[in-house]
């Protein structure tokens, strides 16, 4: 059975998990229900995606999210596209949260009289049952755009496609006959899908719409991992773009950095050389490396053509090169750290050796050294605190970082201050 909720009529009673999304502006506070909060799309990501969608022209018809959770993405679409939306959510309390969050966003924009709000609806029911949903809403309209962000079991190791709820193939098959013209969709998938699983997704889409245009999108918030992995299909895929990388800006309102490619670059391969003083070491955004766009991006910010990849996987991909990168402010957001090696240290870093590191850092006139390497999470703040305290008491002037060479026994002390790194775009 499908129940219809009108966002204009719902109130917050029974919705408990009230939360200030740290990426949303002051005063925009979302409600959640029954563990909906961890599933919700961060507001900044949702708005950025809606802005990208707004660049495409969509036909008349419904903007649908058939597993809308707390409705955060749905509310971002409605308020950015200024179009009424239809959400479907299996869990009734979350469906109410969706309706209430759309109301909250409309109130925030002083748009409670606008059609995008007054005509939006949430259906509490099964998002794979296209006919049932359309009948319940009593609409003859077709679908202009479909969004799907399926739930995944927490702590899943495999991130297998079969674990997604609602299942991808049921959604695609169920809604395919209802598109207005060419299909248009975003599948917001697990960021941990392997290349093989991405191919499985492609095969599912191909099965329903052979030859359909597709763009894969990796989104990063600069936290050392892929934040979102999405497939844009049909009329919202970017012509000539097989892969897109989106770096969410550190602050709301700033432009995202977007890189694109029409081809699939050769993935970087590890080529471990002995570390040497004077070379440059760069730790890159892990999502940029996973997206397959790093090999075409690096030459655009460097005069080097030889990049020696020391680490290609995990949270801190590491590449060695001869010259400083030439980065503008935006490009800098793709780099966790970059600098010149001033000292090779054959030591383990722990509480008994940190004073030795301080001595080396002082010899090179450092005032701060950030630890950019895997350490026991309990030990990391202790060591960083000790370094900070001891260096601040002296009169050093240089900033830098310490990372580990993949040979496992050499630590690389690098200087990274702006004076050491070339400025501006190439």
Q: Which residues bind ligand SAM (CB under 6 A)?
A: 39-41, 67-73, 88-91, 94, 126-128, 149-151, 165-166
CB 8 within 8 A of CB 104: no
**Smallest distance, ligand SAM to C-beta of residue 31, A:** 11
**Smallest distance, ligand SAM to C-beta of residue 93, A:** 10
Nearer to ligand SAM, 168 or 335 (CB): 168
Nearer to ligand SAM, 124 or 336 (CB): 124
**Smallest distance, ligand SAM to C-beta of residue 245, A:** 21
Nearer to ligand SAM, 94 or 214 (CB): 94
Between CA 83 and CA 61 the distance in angstroms is 9
Nearer to ligand SAM, 70 or 333 (CB): 70
**Smallest distance, ligand SAM to C-beta of residue 91, A:** 4
CA-based end-to-end distance of the chain: 60
Both structure tokens of 152? 């995944």
CB 260 within 8 A of CB 244: yes
Residue count (the chain): 426
Between CA 232 and CA 181 the distance in angstroms is 16
Give one DSSP letter per residue of 216-253, joined into a string.
EEEEE-SSSS--EEEEEEETTSPTT-SEEEEE--SSTT
Instruction: Output DSSP code: residue 294.
Output: H
Consecutive H or E run containing 359: helix 354-363
Q: Does residue 39 sit in helix, strand or coil?
A: helix
Place of tokens 């600069």: 222
**Smallest distance, ligand SAM to C-beta of residue 179, A:** 19
Nearer to ligand SAM, 153 or 314 (CB): 153
Both structure tokens of 314? 């995990």
Nearer to ligand SAM, 75 or 371 (CB): 75
> Which residue minimizes CB distance to ligand SAM?
69
As to burial, measured by CB atoms within 10 angstroms (0-12 exposed, 13-18 middle, 19+ buried), residue 189 is buried
Q: 109-118 burial string, b = 16+ CB within 10 Å, else e?
A: bebeebebbe
Residue 4 β-bridge partners: 123
Nearer to ligand SAM, 68 or 294 (CB): 68
Nearer to ligand SAM, 37 or 316 (CB): 37
Q: Does residue 122 sit in helix, strand or coil?
A: strand
**Smallest distance, ligand SAM to C-beta of residue 232, A:** 15
**Smallest distance, ligand SAM to C-beta of residue 75, A:** 8
**Smallest distance, ligand SAM to C-beta of residue 58, A:** 19
């Amino acid at each position: 059975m499908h129940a219809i909720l009108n966002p204009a009529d719902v109130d917050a009673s029974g919705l408990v998990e009230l939360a200030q999304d740290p990426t949303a502006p002051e005063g925009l506070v979302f409600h959640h229900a029954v563990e909906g909060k961890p599933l919700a799309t961060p507001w900044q990501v949702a708005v950025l995606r809606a802005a990208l969608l707004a660049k495409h022209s969509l036909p008349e018809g419904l903007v649908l999210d058939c597993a809308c959770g707390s409705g955060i993405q749905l509310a971002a679409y409605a308020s950015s596209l200024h179009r009424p939306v239809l959400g479907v959510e299996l869990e009734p309390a979350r469906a109410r949260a969706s309706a209430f969050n759309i109301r909250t966003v409309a109130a925030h924009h002083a748009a409670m009289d606008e059609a995008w709000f007054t005509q939006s609806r949430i259906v509490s029911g099964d998002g794979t049952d296209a006919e049932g949903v359309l009948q319940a809403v009593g609409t003859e309209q077709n679908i202009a755009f479909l969004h799907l962000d399926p739930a995944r079991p927490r702590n899943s190791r495999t991130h297998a496609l079969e674990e997604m709820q609602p299942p991808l193939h049921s959604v695609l098959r169920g809604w395919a006959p209802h598109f207005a013209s060419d299909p248009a969709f975003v599948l917001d998938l697990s960021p941990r899908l392997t290349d093989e699983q991405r191919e499985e997704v492609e095969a599912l889409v191909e099965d329903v719409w052979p030859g359909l245009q597709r763009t894969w999108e990796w989104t990063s918030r600069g936290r050392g991992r892929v934040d979102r992995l999405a497939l844009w299909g049909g009329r919202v895929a970017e012509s000539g773009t097989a892969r897109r990388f989106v770096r969410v800006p550190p602050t709301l309102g700033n432009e995202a950095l977007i890189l694109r490619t029409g081809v699939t670059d050769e993935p970087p391969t590890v080529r471990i050389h002995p570390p040497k003083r004077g070379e440059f070491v760069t730790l890159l955004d892990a999502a940029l490396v996973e997206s397959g766009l790093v090999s075409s991006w690096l030459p655009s910010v460097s005069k080097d053509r030889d990049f020696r990849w020391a680490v290609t996987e995990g949270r801190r991909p590491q590449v060695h090169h001869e010259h400083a990168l030439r980065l503008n402010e935006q490009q800098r957001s793709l780099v966790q750290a970059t600098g010149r090696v001033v000292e090779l240290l054959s030591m383990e870093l722990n509480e008994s050796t940190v004073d030795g590191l301080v001595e080396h850092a002082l010899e090179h006139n450092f005032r701060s050294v950030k630890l950019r390497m895997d350490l026991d999470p309990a030990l990391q703040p202790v060591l960083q605190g000790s370094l900070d305290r001891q260096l601040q008491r002296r009169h050093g002037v240089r900033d830098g970082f310490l990372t580990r060479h993949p040979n496992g026994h050499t630590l690389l002390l690098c200087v990274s201050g702006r004076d050491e790194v070339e400025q501006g775009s190439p």
